[in-house]
Amino acid sequence: MTLAVKPNFDYFTQKVKDSGGTIVNDQHLGLIDAQTLRVKVNEIIQGFDKQLVAMKHDPLIRGKLRGMIHEAVMTEGKNFPSIMLPALDALAEEIQDEILGFGVITKLLDDPDVTEVMVQGKRVGPVKTVMEIFYEKDGLLTKADVIPPDEEAILAIIEKIGSPIGRRVDESTPLMDARLPDGSRVNAVIPPLALDGPCLTIRKFRKALDMDKLIHTYHTMSEQDAEFIKSCVENRMNILISGGTGSGKTSSLNAVSSFIPENERIITIEDAAELQLNQPHVVRLESKPPNVEGRGAITIRELVRNSLRMRPDRIVVGEVRSGEALDMLTAMNTGHDGSLTTGHANTPRDMVSRLETMVLMSGMELPSRAIREQIAAAIDLIIQQTRLKDGRRKISHITGILGISGETILMQDILLYDKNEDRLVPAPGRSAFIPVLEKAGIEIPSWIKEE
């Protein structure tokens, strides 16, 4: 008896995918059919209204263009049997993503729950590299279940991102920082710096979270914690929000900034504009990277210095990471009370040490004692943001600066995160901060008083 050999459909499917085919219910558009349709559809797309295409980032226009592309594919594919309609739909989606979006990563960028998209190469042989796509959702990294694009496709996406804003990436400039039309931050690294192929990282722009969501949806803090922070903001204490990458510093800064009274003039300074303040008098400034000739850069430090001439009531700096820390501290110490900023550090004490290092990066040869005096006089409160192992973002410390003694900046934890209770609890010794609150004119909360 002869046994029938069952076809290896998994192998067949992968071969079709490798050759550019689209698998739908064991039916597919082969490479020749797909390419022929693409050419014809692209000719139709060339005839679209150029002004309409230029407005493709408008959601309504985007939807209209998607419909036009789908109609073009179906019109050109009308001679295919009806069983091929799903394959034609899939091809239409691919063309839509290429024309209106950024290819294979478009659906991840369109997913509101995805916060970050990462593309990287993985070497699978002496010379062969495959591209892999990962995304972050709910604070956790997941590998995307998509057909891996080739290096040329990723390079084309990088070029498509950079071209409209005058950025380019090639062997002479293998690094690129850019921003998508919706404000998402983009970083691209290509060979020779990226050894296993182009690397693309997109931190998606998300609508700013208000304090109500941080409290009731994400449980970043409690109403009591927010009430204490609000009183500190309203009474013009200088606040620094510290945390690691992706810990939620900008979201917390945006929420905390909402406590600034509406009758004050606020100047925000950022590398990439993310803050979304609703007060009526907000001036938004954004740094400018150098052009392709390496000229014309405007740094955060220059913007901080310039903001002092703009009659600010409050200065909100998205992040201090180098010499601008000195200018920020100077502003806080010269009448611009109530300013806010963020910085990278794992603990409040580390943040103070990093501030000292950043001041030294300004090029000013200041003694350590003088720098620490500046820090102690300028910063009143450090809010430490932490990203837990399960992806949740929590405030882990609210720490006050008491002053300086000798060479040491005196700090006192006011609230500390208790993992057993999953919330901030009053810290031992917190009453030492009462004189600072009294000096700021803040009514002392009952919970801060110790027995």
Amino acid of residue 249: K
Residue 239, pLDDT score: 97
Question: Cα–Cα distance between 66 and 95 in angstroms, integer?
Answer: 9
> pLDDT at residue 132 above 60?
yes
Cβ count within 10 A of residue 435: 11
Burial class (CB in 10 A: 0-12, 13-18, 19+), 65: buried
> pLDDT at residue 12 above 80?
no
> pLDDT at residue 9 above 70?
no
Higher pLDDT, residue 129 or 24? 129
The pLDDT tens digits for 170-229 are 888 899 888 888 878 899 999 999 999 999 999 987 776 789 989 988 889 999 999 999
Annotate 356-387 with three-state secondary structure: HHHHHCCCCCCCHHHHHHHHHHHCCEEEEEEE
Does the bond joining 191 to the residue before it have cis omega, within 30 degrees of 0?
no
Residue 28, pLDDT score: 56
pTM: 0.76
Lowest pLDDT segment from 5-19, 91-105, 233-247, 295-309: 5-19
131, β-bridge pairs: 121
Question: Mapping DSSP to helix (H, G, I), strand (E, B) and coil, where does residue 335 land?
Answer: coil
* Closest alpha carbon to 23 in 8, 12, 37: 12
Residue 451, pLDDT score: 64
> pLDDT at residue 146 above 50?
yes
Question: Cα–Cα distance between 161 and 131 in angstroms, integer?
Answer: 18
Residue 352, pLDDT score: 96
Question: Cα–Cα distance between 283 and 307 in angstroms, integer?
Answer: 10
Residue 426, pLDDT score: 95
The pLDDT tens digits for 263-281 are 999 999 998 778 889 999 9
* Closest alpha carbon to 239 in 353, 363, 385, 359: 385
Residues in Cβ contact with 395 at an 8 Å cutoff, skipping those fewer than 6 apart: 220, 221, 225, 252, 383, 384, 385, 386, 415, 417, 424
Most confident of 136-140, 207-211, 378-382: 378-382
Mean pLDDT, range 355-376, rounded to an integer: 93
Check if the beta carbon of residue 433 is closer than 8 Å to that of residue 448: yes
Higher pLDDT, residue 45 or 159? 159
